[in-house]
Amino acid sequence: MIRRLDLASIDDADRRALLSRSAVPESDVLSHAAAIVEDVRRGGDTALAQAGSTFGGGRAGPARVTAEEITAAAKRVDSELVAALRDAAYNVAAVCREQRPTDGCVEVRPGVEVARYWTPLRRVGCYVPGGAAPLPSTLIMTVVPAQVAGVASIAVATPARFDGTIADVILAAAALLGIGEVYAMGGAQAIAALAYGTETIAPVAKIVGPGNAWVTAAKLAVAGSCAIDMPAGPSEALVLADASADPVFVAADLLAQAEHGPDSSVLLVTADSAVADRVVAEAMRQMEKLSRRDVVEQALAGHGLVAVAPDLESALAFADAYAPEHLTIHLADPEIAVERVTSAGSVFVGAWAPEPVGDYASGANHVLPTGGLARSTGPLSVEDFGSWRQVQRLTREGLAALRPVVRQIATAEGLDAHLAAVEVRFDDKGAGQ
């Protein structure tokens, strides 16, 4: 059911093929999503409603969920679940408060200062997957960092179910966080409405949150006009294990990630063939009891891999090159991997750090880079909800000290006006005299 591979036996071409993947959807999805986006950009609310009717995720009547609907839904949710959502939000906020950027200023030389100031975005849109699989945890993961950052206006978009309603638990999470602007809309049309606005929806400066291929394609389509967090591909996990690992725990970690969907990628990387045998056997045993067994089987058969490396260093090198969304470490000395594998979205260290705790409860963010983007991109954080300004302050003496530098470089580049903008300030007739 799950493919097995000896890493020592593959050549460079096979290795590159194994590591090559992308969070960007196929070209046909990109083109069709772009067409939907353009329709909504031009047609506003009418086009949004039509797309919702055609592709799903919308509902009859206005897209905006009323305050009464949010309040009523929150009252229907079990108090213990609300308490769990509150605890999760508290933990995320605790982590986020430590991420707040601080302004700084550097005196390059006397009379020359360069400062950086961080300002929260004015308005953002948070996309929360809904429909058959509502994810209140994603609402928390996208909204709380924005709130800690100081974003004044936050809009949430989430698909309606087939009956036109939104899951109570999503609206309860919104109520818990004080979010009153929620729209029943999904897919590419929701992204377009957030990015460009409609007659009833104000545009946002940035859109964050994961979604299916259509959502990702639409985010890429609007990226020139509206900022986005990152493309979101299928979920993925890589588990590093050695002889010290408990195969029961390792198997459970792999299955938890495979449960996300049939396109989820799960990899076990080990330098011990016996460990691989024990984990696979245990995974088959545990899988029998899962309610989403069919999904797990599809994920393991289509995107599962057991990679046996010749040694630990080779295993670590492969994990780093793969750059997984989630990295779980079951090694006798896990800190070796923490230091060595620098390309990973979220890292779980040791037997008592299962991946689902990062999805829900630890305070870490679960909006993470996929498709190898962890080589250059990190988890969603407070910094994603603001922008930096560079501010330069110079005195006459400071500019005089930099004058020769400007003269040489501007002359070399043939930009006379650049040079003149400095020189005029030292001209006897200049206003600065």
Give me the CATH number covering residue 277: 3.40.50.1980
276 with 175, same domain: the answer is no
Strand partners, 107: 113
14 with 138, same domain: the answer is no
Pairing of strands 112-120, 386-394: antiparallel
Q: Return the structure tokens found at 257.
A: 């990630």
Per-residue pLDDT at 123 exceeds 90 = yes
Provide CB contacts within 8 A for 138, sequence distance 6+. 128, 129, 209, 210, 366, 367
Tell which residue, 48, 57, 213, 212, has the closest CA to residue 131: 57
215 with 146, same domain: the answer is yes
109 with 163, same domain: the answer is yes
Per-residue pLDDT at 319 exceeds 60 = yes
The SS3 of residue 69 is helix
Q: Respond yes or no: is residue 326 known to be catalytic.
A: yes
Give the DSSP per-residue string, 187-200. Answer: HHHHHHHHHH--SS
What is the rounded distance in angstroms from the CA atom of residue 194 to the CA atom of residue 207? 7
**Mean pLDDT confidence for 181-209:** 98
**Mean pLDDT confidence for 10-23:** 91
Within a domain: residue 389?
no
For residue range 354-394, what is the model confidence (pLDDT) as tens digits?
A: 999 999 999 999 999 999 999 999 999 999 999 999 999 99
Domain end marker among 313, 343, 363: 363
Q: Are 30 and 213 spatial neighbours (Cβ–Cβ below 8 Å)?
A: no
Number of independent structural domains in the chain: 3
Within a domain: residue 170?
yes
Provide CB contacts within 8 A for 11, sequence distance 6+. none
For residue range 92-114, what is the model confidence (pLDDT) as tens digits?
A: 999 999 999 999 999 999 999 99
Per-residue pLDDT at 147 exceeds 80 = yes
The SS3 of residue 126 is strand
Per-residue pLDDT at 134 exceeds 80 = yes
Considering 181, 282, 325, 355, which one is annotated as catalytic?
325
Domain end marker among 339, 363, 387: 363
Q: Respond yes or no: is residue 32 known to be catalytic.
A: no
Within a domain: residue 84?
yes
* Mean residue pLDDT across the chain: 96
Within a domain: residue 113?
yes
Burial class from Cβ neighbours inside 10 Å (0-12, 13-18, 19+) for residue 317 reads middle
**Mean pLDDT confidence for 333-352:** 97
**Mean pLDDT confidence for 167-195:** 98
91 with 68, same domain: the answer is yes
**pLDDT band per the 50, 70, 90 thresholds, residue 1:** confident
Percent of the chain with pLDDT over 70: 99
Q: Are 313 and 319 spatial neighbours (Cβ–Cβ below 8 Å)?
A: no
The SS3 of residue 60 is coil
The amino acid sitting at 29 is: V
Distances (CA, A) of 382 to 3, 61, 208, 318, 335: 39, 35, 12, 30, 27
190 with 60, same domain: the answer is yes
The more confident residue out of 25 and 429 is 25
Per-residue pLDDT at 432 exceeds 70 = no
The SS3 of residue 396 is helix
CB-CB neighbours of 247 under 10 Å: 20
Residue 429, pLDDT score: 62
The SS3 of residue 247 is helix
Half-sphere exposure at residue 391, Cβ-oriented, CA atoms within 13 angstroms: 11
Within a domain: residue 381?
no
Alpha-helix residue ranges (DSSP H) falling in 56-78: 67-76
202 with 249, same domain: the answer is no
Q: What is the pTM of this model?
A: 0.94
**pLDDT band per the 50, 70, 90 thresholds, residue 253:** very high
For residue range 28-47, what is the model confidence (pLDDT) as tens digits?
A: 999 999 999 999 999 999 99
145 with 191, same domain: the answer is yes
70 with 214, same domain: the answer is yes
Q: Are 217 and 246 spatial neighbours (Cβ–Cβ below 8 Å)?
A: no
16 with 110, same domain: the answer is no
The amino acid sitting at 264 is: S
Residue 321, pLDDT score: 97
Percent of the chain with pLDDT over 90: 95
Within a domain: residue 64?
yes
137 with 36, same domain: the answer is yes
Q: Are 269 and 319 spatial neighbours (Cβ–Cβ below 8 Å)?
A: yes
**Mean pLDDT confidence for 312-336:** 97
Q: Are 324 and 286 spatial neighbours (Cβ–Cβ below 8 Å)?
A: no
The amino acid sitting at 220 is: L
Pairing of strands 112-120, 104-109: antiparallel
69 with 162, same domain: the answer is yes
Pairing of strands 3-6, 304-308: parallel
Strand partners, 91: none
**Mean pLDDT confidence for 2-7:** 94
Q: Are 83 and 187 spatial neighbours (Cβ–Cβ below 8 Å)?
A: no
Dihedral angle over CA of 199, 203, 209, 210, nearest 10: 50
What is the rounded distance in angstroms from the CA atom of residue 406 to the CA atom of residue 417? 11
**pLDDT band per the 50, 70, 90 thresholds, residue 433:** very low
Domain that holds residue 408: 395-426
Burial 107-144 (b: 16+ CB within 10 A, else e): eeeebbbeeeebebbebbbbbbbbbeebbbbbbbbbbb
Per-residue pLDDT at 431 exceeds 70 = no
**Mean pLDDT confidence for 420-428:** 94
Give the DSSP per-residue string, 259-322. Answer: TT-TT-EEEEEES-HHHHHHHHHHHHHHHTT-TTHHHHHHHHHHHEEEEE-SSHHHHHHHHHHH
Within a domain: residue 372?
no
Domain end marker among 203, 231, 259: 231
What is the rounded distance in angstroms from the CA atom of residue 3 to the CA atom of residue 307? 9
Considering 260, 282, 303, 326, which one is annotated as catalytic?
326
Per-residue pLDDT at 165 exceeds 80 = yes
